[in-house]
Structure 1
Amino acid sequence: MSCVLYETKLANHQIFLDIKNSLSEETNYKLRNLIELKDEILYVWNSVESCLFCLNVKHLDENEAETPYQKLHLVSPPAFAVERLMSSECGTRLCLWGSRGVTVVELPSRWGRSGLFDSGNQTVLCKSFSLDERLLYLAADIQRVHWHPKSMSHLLVLVSDNTMRLYNIALKAGPKLVRTFTVGHKPTGALGRTVLESLGDAAVDFTATVDSDHLLILTGNGDVYMMACEQDDKGSLNAPLKGPLSMYPSADDNYGAESCSILALGTLDSPTLVVIASAAGVLYHCLLLPDASEEAGDGYALYVVESVELNIAHTQNDNDMHNVYPVHLYRGPRGAYVCMHASGVHAVNLPLLRLIREYAAAIDTESDSILSAISQQPSSARHLLCTSGNRVTPPVGLAVTPAPLHTLLILCNSGEMLSRTLEPQELEEQLYKEMQLRNPALDQDDINNILKEQQKLSFTSIMQEVLAREASQPLLKLDKKEEPDPKECLEVLTEATVRLRAEYMSRQRRALDVITRKVAALRALAKQQEAWREDLQADITQVELQSAVLKEKRDYAEKFQDDMKYRCSAVFRSLRRGASSAAERRTLCELQAHARAARDAAAAVQQLKVNAARKSEELKRWEEEYQKKQTVLGRSHSDTISSILQQQTSKISTLIEETKLLKDQLGVA
């Protein structure tokens, strides 16, 4: 696919004009990624209608005419604000997640020449389900969600209480919590989570290593922990937590106290390169190697090779980005990765990856030259998009197109789609290995029913959580005889106003947003259901007409069948009675006479054949005796014998012809 497709056809498509309204109504400026490109299908999340817009990019490239997009409505739309879209490796599922929940969408099948969902229908209903709605929505914040690196049917969810939850989403009974891992200190008390976040002990991100054998977990203070994701023979995860990993050379601030994102890059034939991003826009490139200081030799350490500082220009009103990690990392083509932040998008080129692969495959004489090249070719950051202005307007979507020409698709907050070419033009293809996780203890029907009930979350519970106040407001009782001075009145009024804004008005606005989102989703679903109902009614009418036609044909067939049955019954009755007409009796007598004549003629013919055979034997015997006697007959005797034989031969011929005539007349074979 050429750049012209992304710059003209895709950028001017109707899908981005329709998605613009949903982006303009969002007042939350957290970093989001609401697009996903998988198997040449572009998915875009519409928060107003609570549905997915999808467009077949390949079909758009091959057809000059306008290619319409499809709407994927969910059976169970998410009750939370969606912040990220994430496709599975096989492309059959989509994961929608935000800080308050996770929803998995089962994508329908694609067929037809265009490769569209449900043969190209404008709207398609998709199966969807949420993971632990009650816990994730009410009790914790989600930091990061990843597909399990060794299974396409499991999800890993990092929660703000320093736990990582593993879910199996491929079961017929619904999603199931397989196991919970503790990745740090558990918060205790009402302010436990706040204390962990302020001290930087809360886990903020995690990623899988290149070989998919370990998970690297990043905390806010820059510490990196390692957890194995192997499976033992019994099917339960064997995941001991190691760390924090040592970082060399050592630094007093541990290379930044506001770490926010982590990413692992590389190939299987070279060491893993770990990228750690801080909130200040500094990127640290580290090599994950065995720790030489440990005696056991099975530990790992991070060796910092270089750091890259991004040119991030924040706006004057930085309060809009409260509690938002400003840098997100995305895998790009081989030798590059992409950073998205509040002020735009950066692309970082990594010649270090290529040099590390060359160093791993080089001989001893070439090692020194490659090491010198590593120090002479530092990584470089390229500012692809700048969105800084009077207010915070970060990008809302980012996707990388497949080979051969890798293009970065960026969806702006205004609904405009931009495309930028990335270099190098080789994409590292990471394929996840499929592994089935089994836990016999969770396969019981009773436990499945309990988990299924616990996952349900009513809209009333959501509204109660939104409107719940953190501080109580006492009733104001003043002495009516004493008149308060203006200063006290101003203080009471100011405090009441602040409390009203903080504890009531803001929550009312949140409740309004939740209700608006729910109503919009229900209206969109109701509208689609009404269209489906009309289609079903038309199908019912068509079936009724076909049923009437078939009923008439059935009645005619039944009438014809009854007539045939009556005629057959009449024939059977006449045969059982044995009654026959005079012509039939005469014909029967003639047939019987001919049969008797045929039998007599056959007997006569048989007798003639016997006589002929006997005469032949006698003649043969006479000839033998005549030869033995050597008697010479006279001429008169010879003539007499010849005449007798001729007479016998003529008689036999006459009898044979008469016999054939009789056979022909009687029809005897």
Structure 2
Amino acid sequence: MAAAEGPVGDGELWQTWLPNHVVFLRLREGLKNQSPTEAEKPASSSLPSSPPPQLLTRNVVFGLGGELFLWDGEDSSFLVVRLRGPSGGGEEPALSQYQRLLCINPPLFEIYQVLLSPTQHHVALIGIKGLMVLELPKRWGKNSEFEGGKSTVNCSTTPVAERFFTSSTSLTLKHAAWYPSEILDPHVVLLTSDNVIRIYSLREPQTPTNVIILSEAEEESLVLNKGRAYTASLGETAVAFDFGPLAAVPKTLFGQNGKDEVVAYPLYILYENGETFLTYISLLHSPGNIGKLLGPLPMHPAAEDNYGYDACAVLCLPCVPNILVIATESGMLYHCVVLEGEEEDDHTSEKSWDSRIDLIPSLYVFECVELELALKLASGEDDPFDSDFSCPVKLHRDPKCPSRYHCTHEAGVHSVGLTWIHKLHKFLGSDEEDKDSLQELSTEQKCFVEHILCTKPLPCRQPAPIRGFWIVPDILGPTMICITSTYECLIWPLLVKLLCDQKKKQLEDLSYCREERKSLREMAERLADKYEEAKEKQEDIMNRMKKLLHSFHSELPVLSDSERDMKKELQLIPDQLRHLGNAIKQVTMKKDYQQQKMEKVLSLPKPTIILSAYQRKCIQSILKEEGEHIREMVKQINDIRNHVNF
């Protein structure tokens, strides 16, 4: 199958080249190296039957940042592919570039699931016969790759409960998860086939820090149903569990005195018969506190078959109130809202002597969804095979959309979106007391189910469980990655629904901003008018204050410093005027003296020269002769100059 058609932008280039990467060729080569009977068994068999162990639904893929990690079971290593360059521009890298994280102490059991820790520093390698934790190596270098970009990196591994699984060969691991805390040391929570939940710390991986024995629930927990006493004799055991968001609970649940509350994680435990138990776990204080086991939680409306006897998975969506998704092997999904029990409950009235009974919540089955695990034949065609197909269903949260989750099973992948969560929050936040309208709300809004991938197109074909499932978060929208049983990479962008939600939210924000701008503009106009009025009043008050201060100072019996300085200046003015008067007199006397001197000089007779006519004539003749002589000399000089030039 091909990947998603052409890229929408630079950020989606990896969606085009990832299916052709060399790591998938390497994984397919390893699949061919297996025994031919194992590789050909799904195709050769024509009768539907339960898949062999190697065809169980797996999830050996996870993502971290811009990298995709794929587990290679043949070499017990992770193959790491960078989806984006260091700049995040989505540049297409070489299809042969990848890093290989090799386990120093490889697991001796087959891995069917990998889980990244909340701190993103460890990876849990989960198998049916054990669990091992791989520590991710350090990053450095320009591209922030593992150990600077080495092609092969050795990674340390820590086996968890190794002695326990080795000594108890009949026990199997049913479910495993990380304790959902990012501030504490990593802890792993294991559910084994002996109906016991054990919590292990990576500091002491062989000794459990806490143990929850589920088989003694009838003696230590509240029994709200008389038929629950026969559950243990029927062999009913827990099959899955999931943590809810952090919540504050009373100390009485932990067997402590006091009315204060402690912060703990609710742990919902699902039994195969469909019953759900609840306990609270807090590991903030060593060695941690485990609350009393509460349950089974009553389900409303009640059903004769208790909503199925083949429950296989439970998922708590991260919202308030908590919403539990319970899946069965027949493909039924139950969306349950976790709410506090009602006061008129018959069981509550009978056992009101126990103070803990008010703390048990109830599960309100909001809606039921039936998944189409296998495609049905067209009407009118005879189906020679049994059409009732069932298989375990795995539930996965969506990292970008809290109201959506995904289901993986042996026949493919489904995506489920709960569109009624927002209306449910509005309903619970209102003052309405009528609980019957809750069912009316469920009839108005239904969830939507998308059949993303079908690996069992015909009833006569053997299922081909997927080997990996992951949601890659992206700015332009999340992308779903599925790895088929033949290590084929399938990619589906989950962009349309997200963009519709974003558009709706942006339109709401835009209208809100417009209203805010309008109100701010009106407020600014009112404030401007008030400012002008305040400014005028302030000027009036300032003038009045000046007059008041002036009159106040004028009434004071003593002089101020400035008035004293002014008095000194006024006293110095007469002396300065006297000196200036004397200086003016001196200037006037000097002026008169100079004027008299000038008059005497002007009154003296001027000498005159009188020439006679003869003297004038002689002077004129001499000047004439001298002029002619000069003219002749000039002529001679010009002649000499001309002669010299030639």
TM-score range, shorter chain: 0.5 to 0.7
1:481 maps to none
Q: What is the CA–CA distance in structure 1 between the aligned matches of 2:75 and 2:104, rounded to whole Å?
A: 13
2:60 maps to 34
Q: Deviations over 1:230-270 (max 9, x none)?
A: 25856332331111111111111100100000000132xx2
2:267 maps to 215
SS in 2 for 1:287: strand
**What does residue range 53-68 of structure 1 map to in structure 2 within 5 Å?**
53-59=79-85, 62-66=90-94, 68=97
Match of 2:189 among 156, 162, 166: 156
Distance 1:368 1:139, change over 3 A: closer
Letter matched to residue 402 of structure 1: P
Q: What is the CA–CA distance in structure 1 between the aligned matches of 2:120 and 2:407, rounded to whole Å?
A: 24
SS in 1 for 2:111: coil
**What does residue range 30-179 of structure 1 map to in structure 2 within 5 Å?**
30-59=56-85, 62-66=90-94, 68-137=97-166, 138-150=169-181, 151=184, 153-169=186-202, 171=203, 176-179=207-210
Task: Quote how far apart the aligned CAs of 1:106 are.
Answer: 0.6
Aligned length: 415
1:224 corresponds to 2:224: no
4+ residue runs of structure 1 moved beyond 6 angstroms? 195-198, 314-319, 365-371
**What does residue range 408-427 of structure 1 map to in structure 2 within 5 Å?**
408-422=480-494, 424-425=497-498
1:328 maps to 394
1:401 corresponds to 2:427: no
SS in 1 for 2:165: helix
Q: What is the CA–CA distance in structure 2 between the aligned matches of 1:369 and 1:34, rounded to whole Å?
A: 43
Match of 2:332 among 257, 268, 282: 282
Letter matched to residue 18 of structure 1: R
Q: What is the CA–CA distance in structure 1 between the aligned matches of 2:90 and 2:292, rounded to whole Å?
A: 51
Distance 1:379 1:203, change over 3 A: same
Q: Deviations over 1:25-59 (max 9, x none)?
A: 36611111010112222111111111111112222
Contact 2:13 2:90 in 1 (8 A): no
SS in 2 for 1:134: helix
Percent identity among equivalent residues?
A: 28
Q: CA RMSD in A?
A: 3.4
Distance 1:54 1:427, change over 3 A: farther
Distance 1:426 1:217, change over 3 A: farther
Select between 203-212 and 82-91 the one with higher mean Cα deviation. 203-212
Letter matched to residue 27 of structure 2: I
Task: Quote how far apart the aligned CAs of 1:91 are.
Answer: 1.3
Contact 2:14 2:90 in 1 (8 A): no
Q: Deviations over 1:391-423 (max 9, x none)?
A: 221111000111430111100111111111336
Task: Quote how far apart the aligned CAs of 1:13 are.
Answer: 1.2
Distance 1:74 1:303, change over 3 A: same
1:260 maps to 312
2:642 maps to none
Letter matched to residue 238 of structure 1: I
Of Structure 1 and Structure 2, which has the larger fraction of its residues in helix? 1
Q: What is the CA–CA distance in structure 1 between the aligned matches of 2:425 and 2:280, rounded to whole Å?
A: 24
Contact 2:396 2:405 in 1 (8 A): yes
**Larger Rg computed on CA atoms:** 2
Letter matched to residue 397 of structure 1: G
Match of 1:9 among 14, 17, 30: 17
Contact 1:335 1:349 in 2 (8 A): yes
Structure 2: 5+ residue stretches without partners: 1-8, 40-53, 218-229, 247-263, 377-382, 502-646
Task: Quote how far apart the aligned CAs of 1:372 are.
Answer: 5.1
Match of 1:387 among 455, 466, 469: 455
Distance 1:416 1:153, change over 3 A: same
**What does residue range 614-629 of structure 1 map to in structure 2 within 5 Å?**
none
Contact 2:209 2:287 in 1 (8 A): no
Q: What is the CA–CA distance in structure 2 between the aligned matches of 1:365 and 1:113, rounded to whole Å?
A: 60
Q: What is the CA–CA distance in structure 1 between the aligned matches of 2:374 and 2:126, rounded to whole Å?
A: 28
Select between 286-295 and 352-361 the one with higher mean Cα deviation. 352-361
Q: What is the CA–CA distance in structure 2 between the aligned matches of 1:310 and 1:139, rounded to whole Å?
A: 33
Structure 1: 5+ residue stretches without partners: 187-194, 429-669
Letter matched to residue 204 of structure 1: V
Q: What is the CA–CA distance in structure 2 between the aligned matches of 1:17 and 1:347, rounded to whole Å?
A: 28
Q: What is the CA–CA distance in structure 1 between the aligned matches of 2:188 and 2:384, rounded to whole Å?
A: 37
